[in-house]
Amino acid sequence: MDMIFYITIVLLLLNMINGVIVSTFSQIREESNNKEEDRTNKCFICSIDRVEFEKKKIAFKDHLKYEHNSKTYIKFLVFLKMIDYKDLDADQSHIIESINERDIGCFPVLKSISIGDLEDEGEGSDED
């Protein structure tokens, strides 16, 4: 009787541990898939979906390459960090101050030259 009890307990514990491991791996896989989907279907700079560009018949790759190239933004931010604060103009000093305060107001979130301001379009549709 003792042997059956121990075997049952061991099997139950092993099944619970395996269940936790499987659910953890599936959760990690789901998060990885969500990140990959965001990486391929959203602009890193403005967070606008690929669908919005397709609605306006704008190539998403062209938007990423010419309008919101992340390498250009990184080069500009490195330039701002390396230049002396006295040599900055008003716009550059505003951007540096915003970054130091962790304010993303200087970045074009939900804004694009080719599409326009998505926040304004969303407000306009509510009024109709």
Quick count: other Cβ atoms within 10 Å of Cβ 73? 14
Which residues make Cβ contacts (< 8 Å) with residue 17, sequence separation at least 6? Answer: none
Residues 6+ apart with CB under 8 A from 47: 109, 110
C-alpha torsion 24→28→31→33, nearest 10: -130
Of 73-82, 103-112, 117-126, highest mean pLDDT: 73-82
Q: Which of 127, 113, 125 is nearest to 56 (CA)?
A: 113
Is 110 within 8 Å of 49 (Cβ atoms)? no
The pLDDT tens digits for 25-83 are 999 999 999 999 988 999 988 989 999 898 888 899 999 999 999 899 999 999 988 98
Pairing of strands 116-117, 111-112: antiparallel
pLDDT in tens, 70-98: 899 999 999 988 988 888 888 898 999 99
First to last CA, the chain: 75
Indicate the domain borders of the chain. Answer: 1-41
Does residue 7 register a pLDDT over 60? yes
- Nearest-angstrom CA–CA distance, 73 and 116: 19
What pLDDT, on a 0 to 100 scale, did the predictor assign at position 121?
56
Sign of CA dihedral 116, 119, 123, 128: positive
What's the whole-model pTM score? 0.64
Better-predicted residue by pLDDT, 118 or 4: 4
User: What pLDDT is stored for residue 119 in this prediction?
Assistant: 63
